[in-house]
């Protein structure tokens, strides 16, 4: 099998390459990223590299020469860009997705597509409840927070592209909880909004006590993708929430991170987030809509993946957040480049 990974220099891309290199049945991994091939992969005989922005037409001809069997689409700008750069971000995210999907459904050799989406696309809304977890059949309703909104739009692009294709490629969409683990936290220094805010203040601000998160361990991500790539061939279009069962409410997050919570009325929290965004010029990750994700819960049911593929999550949300266990628990710091517009990171 030959696998192409977009956003290959990013957090999840790096994790997947390390995992897939050891699989005997995978002969070649083709990385596509705006960043150059990481030095740590220089000696790898399995990894080929195409340095290109997936939203352009600078990579398809080279990728076509590898006659890949499967594509894993990760390339995405998660963190919102400050100022008048929304169109740039839209071109990277939606334009890039269009190019990737056109390649997948236009190449006869491609038989599998794994597309990374997010539970954020369900939306953080006032009527969300811990008593009713989101299943894969729930509508995607996020429209304010750019990351979740773009992921929602990309899923629609994928559905449309699949419907218009000859459907020979099997599609799997993974709506992942926040991805974390020792490689992301300690080797790459990637932190989500909860850890970022807690690192800046002695407390965690939230709009409601039942706010919380689920976290997916990076090792589970690698094993899920490996399972999907090596499983017997299937037909159709599948969507799975990828998340362990446990849910970390605000009190759980504060206890694990040895902080305390402070409940702020949602309207005030919204104003504070907007002020922090403008004063810091986007360095504090509190763009439009982010306040809702520290106010209203998004709890998902990740059991369908277990029922369909017999996959058992190895780590809890708490394990993933604390990042103390896993195959990269002693991972060294790795080289970094400049901006990473096509890298899947921690939401």
Residue-by-residue DSSP string for 261-328: EEE--HHHHHHHHHHHHHHTTTSS---TTGGGGGTS---B--HHHHHHH----SS-HHHHHHT-SSTT
**What pLDDT score does 199 carry?**
66
Beta strands in the chain (DSSP E): 2-6, 28-33, 47-51, 70-73, 112-118, 170-176, 178-180, 203-206, 212-213, 215-217, 237-242, 248-249, 260-263
**What pLDDT score does 333 carry?**
47
Taking Cα atoms as reference points, which of 181, 46, 158, 45 lies closest to residue 103? 158
Instruction: Characterise 344 by phi-psi region: left (phi > 0), alpha (psi -120 to 50), beta (else).
Output: beta
DSSP state of 37: P
**What pLDDT score does 188 carry?**
78
| Average pLDDT of adjacent 10-residue blocks, the chain of 347 residues | 96 95 94 93 90 97 97 95 88 97 97 98 94 95 96 98 96 97 82 65 83 94 97 93 95 86 92 94 91 94 97 96 86 43 36
**What pLDDT score does 258 carry?**
85
- Long-range residue pairs from 58-66, CB within 8 A, at least 24 positions apart, any chain: 59/32, 60/99, 60/103, 63/4, 63/30, 63/32, 63/103, 64/107, 66/2, 66/4, 66/28, 66/30
Count of Cβ atoms closer than 10 Å to residue 43 Cβ: 7
CA distance 72 to 113: 6
CA distance 59 to 45: 21
């Amino acid at each position: 099998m030959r696998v192409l990974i977009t956003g290959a220099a990013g957090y999840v891309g790096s994790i997947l390459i390390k995992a897939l290199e050891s699989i005997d049945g995978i002969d070649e991994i083709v990385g596509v990223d705006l960043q150059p091939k990481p030095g740590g992969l220089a000696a790898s005989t399995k990894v080929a590299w195409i340095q290109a922005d997936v939203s352009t037409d600078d990579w398809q001809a080279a990728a076509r020469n590898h006659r890949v069997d499967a594509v894993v689409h990760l390339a995405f700008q998660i963190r919102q860009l400050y100022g008048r750069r929304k169109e740039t971000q839209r071109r990277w995210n939606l334009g890039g997705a269009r190019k990737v999907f056109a390649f997948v459904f236009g190449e006869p050799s491609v038989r599998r597509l794994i597309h990374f989406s997010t539970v954020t696309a369900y939306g953080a809304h006032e009527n969300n409840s811990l008593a009713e977890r989101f299943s894969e059949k729930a509508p995607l309703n996020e429209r304010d927070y750019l990351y979740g909104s773009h992921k929602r739009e990309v899923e629609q692009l994928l559905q449309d592209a699949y419907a218009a294709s000859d459907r020979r490629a099997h599609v799997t969409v993974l709506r992942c909880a926040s991805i974390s683990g020792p490689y992301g936290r300690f080797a790459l220094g990637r932190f989500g909004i909860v850890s970022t805010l807690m690192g800046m203040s002695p407390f965690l601000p939230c709009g409601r006590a039942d706010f919380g998160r689920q976290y997916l361990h990076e090792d589970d991500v690698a094993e899920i993708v490996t399972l999907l790539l090596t499983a017997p061939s299937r037909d159709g279009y599948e969507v799975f929430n990828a998340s362990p069962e446990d849910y970390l409410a605000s009190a759980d997050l504060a206890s694990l991170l040895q902080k305390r919570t402070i409940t702020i009325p949602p309207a005030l929290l919204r104003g504070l987030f907007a002020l922090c965004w403008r004063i810091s010029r986007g360095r504090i990750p509190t763009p439009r809509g982010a306040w809702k994700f520290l106010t209203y819960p998004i709890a998902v049911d990740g059991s369908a993946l277990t029922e369909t593929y017999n996959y058992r999550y190895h780590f809890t949300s708490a394990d993933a957040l604390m990042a103390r266990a896993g195959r990269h628990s002693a991972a060294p710091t790795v080289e970094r480049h400049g901006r990473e517009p096509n890298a899947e990171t921690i939401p």
